[in-house]
Chain A
Amino acid sequence: MRDDTPRQNASLKGYTEAMRDALAEEMRRDASVITLGEGIGPRGGNWGETAGLYDEFGPERVMDMPISELGFTGMGVGAALRGLRPVVNLMFVDFFGEAFSQIVNQAAKWHYLSGGQASVPVVFWGVMGAGSAAGGHHSGCLYPLFMHIAGLKVAVPATPADGKGLLKTAIRDDNPVVFLAHRMLWDLRGPVPEGELIIPFGKARIVRDGTDVTVVAIARMVHEAEQAADALAEQGISVEVLDPRTLVPLDVEAILASVEKTGRLVIVDEAYSRCSAAAEISALVAQEGFEWLRAPIRRVETLPVPHPVSPPLEAEMLPNAGKVVDAVHKAMQDDCGRRTQEGATHE
């Protein structure tokens, strides 16, 4: 895997390290930022995501929690309603289910239902993703569940720089943010610009420019898409790879602009295929970009089966670079007989 973030005035950092830096910087900057979760105190978090924070900020701001996800998530929401800015570390996105009611019924709705009297500046941080044979309860990419809920925002960084910049934005946002890091990227190293790094929500990153097909990819799939794009380049197919970085808000304009240029769209999404982010993006592009599409939109997703442990089974169900190459081939072969903007049909 590689990270193509521009390297001027940047130093190489690990993905988890960069997010830890973001949290440390925000906690130094604003005394109302606290973090709580299981094992995030002296232990420094399951992946080192809070390493050093307990020593620097102490037990009142870096709090070890009992296995009470519903209780401590609701505690985070209540503290946020009163002006603190908690980062609630739920460890695995699969555990968000234990706290689901406080996230979707309370955090997400309070601002609107109160007529704007209250806001809930809380971050729900978790790790998602398969690829390490962790099995059915530790492998999910459950962001579609949270994209669906009005009032939440959803961030899915694919690089160290994005991990840092998006987490800072998430903490400073006055809304509840579901922030999902990918477990297979935990030690990915990439350039992180020096100084203050704030990446706005709703702004996609063009990972590489291309002209024949747009590939929108999410989190670890960005790296699979890159591998596929390398292989396709050797075959003379120019792939534009786009990383939305946040799913709510979603940079629909960037996706549409790319599809207007290429006419073909493949979406790579590690969530289960049914009602995935790819499903939402497909519907949006089909509605708003229909005139530019030369081929049906294709999705490369996880088969809707609980994640098995056995590695060949797990590998079979997940999207990968090879499947992306196949999907691009199909997209290139399809032809709706459409006229291009210049008036000629595509060969």
Chain B
Amino acid sequence: MDSGKRLLLDLYRRMLLIRRFEEQVRKMARRKVLAGFPHTYVGEEAVAAGVCAHLKETDAVFSTHRGHGHALAMGCDPQRLMAELLGRATGYCGGRGGSMHVTAVDKGLIGCSGIVAASMPLATGAGLRARLKRDGTVAVAFFGDGASNHGAFHESLNLAGNLALPVLFVCENNQFATHTSFASVTANPDVASRAASYSMPGVALDGNDVWAVHQAAEEAVSRARAGGGPTLLECHTYRTVGHQEHGPVYGEYRTKEEVEAWKKRCPIRRLRERLLAEEPALAELLERVEHQVAQAVAEAAELAERSPYPEPMVSEEQAYAG
């Protein structure tokens, strides 16, 4: 099999793992075994998969309240991730972070934040360190369309652009900031066009085309590693689930028809169709991948649910390092 095909299969597997994991998360949320409020990534998998394929554990990813996809794409163990969502001791953060605040430093996921737009100044700081140490690492800030209207977006892009820092600013434009239509509250909804104001390239992409994301990210990451400075990627995508579980998938803010139309543009289905069109014999391999991923997720969920809760010991000392 040629390397290009192998790469596409790897992307397929990454996206599928995210999708099946998130579907499992949704099931567990309905059974009320999850702690906290999960915001799932269903429909947006191509962005995480396409960007993180170029990242190493030595890079620095900062994500959002909708971060499970980035965590898995950076190589997090599904079982430890699920345990974290269930508030168990074996979770990455010992149950303290939960869905919105996952940190897995060893995997390069420096952290997820429940505060919109927080990822951008933080990634800019990681980029500052990378530039000072000249270690060839990059920092990535994932954020949504809503965050692109936050002051931190403008301040971070100005800092990163002025200092030529190795940062990728990846806007996952799923068109809604919680339940508010992005276009309706934004003077200039062309997020990528804002990059020019901050002296960096801005690229608008079909965020549901994992290959397009992969290619654009490859160029941005290698430019950053080589000292060429930051890039803003605007990935147009769509979450076919609610903002969070227990929230409306559609209703006042969008129609069922719109959701169904986007499901037909599913990034996983599109890649599957492309692979099978190019090589029908791959069908069996894809079945095997489907089966392996399903099994991995089922095992992860089962093990996580059997994991112990942390000891109920809380002290002020724990809030401080050293």
The answer, yes or no, to whether A105 is at the interface (CB within 8 Å) is: yes
**Contact with A81, one of B91, B125, B162 (Cβ below 8 angstroms):** B125
Name the residue in B95, B118, B131 with the highest tally of chain A Cβ atoms < 10 Å from its Cβ: B118
Query: Measured between C-beta atoms, what is the minimum distance from A289 to chain B in Å?
Result: 20
Q: Among residues 184 to 202 in chain B, which have CB atoms less than 8 Å away from a CB atom of chain A?
A: none
Chain B: number of interface residues, binned into ranges: 35 or more
The CA of A167 and the CA of B248, in the complex, are separated in Å by 51
Query: Measured between C-beta atoms, what is the minimum distance from A121 to chain B in Å?
Result: 8
Given the interface pairs A74-B124, A115-B97, A175-B320, the reply to whether A82 lies near B129 with Cβ below 8 Å is yes
Q: Among residues 77 to 100 in chain A, which have CB atoms less than 8 Å away from a CB atom of chain B?
A: 77-84, 86
The answer, yes or no, to whether B132 is at the interface (CB within 8 Å) is: yes
Binds B, one of A41-49, A106-114, A219-227, A260-268: A106-114
Whether A82 pairs with B103 at a CB distance below 8 angstroms is: no
Whether A75 pairs with B96 at a CB distance below 8 angstroms is: no
The CA of A72 and the CA of B111, in the complex, are separated in Å by 18
The CA of A102 and the CA of B116, in the complex, are separated in Å by 11
Whether B105 pairs with A74 at a CB distance below 8 angstroms is: no
Q: Mark B84-122, 1 if CB is under 8 A from A, else 0.
A: 000000011111110001011110001101010010111
The CA of A151 and the CA of B158, in the complex, are separated in Å by 29
**Contact with B125, one of A77, A105, A113 (Cβ below 8 angstroms):** A77
Given the interface pairs A60-B132, A110-B111, A151-B319, the reply to whether A74 lies near B93 with Cβ below 8 Å is no
The CA of A97 and the CA of B93, in the complex, are separated in Å by 29
Residues of chain A lying within 8 A (CB to CB) of residue B126? 78-79, 81-82
Binds B, one of A1-9, A63-71, A134-142, A270-278: A63-71
Whether A113 pairs with B93 at a CB distance below 8 angstroms is: yes
Whether B322 pairs with A75 at a CB distance below 8 angstroms is: no
The chain B residue with its CB closest to the CB of A78 is B125
Residues of chain A lying within 8 A (CB to CB) of residue B92? 115, 117
Residues of chain B lying within 8 A (CB to CB) of residue A80? 125
Whether B322 pairs with A175 at a CB distance below 8 angstroms is: yes
The CA of A151 and the CA of B319, in the complex, are separated in Å by 5
Interface residues of B (CB under 8 A from A): 60, 62, 91-97, 101, 103-106, 110-111, 113, 115, 118, 120-132, 139, 151-152, 154-156, 158-159, 162, 316, 318-322
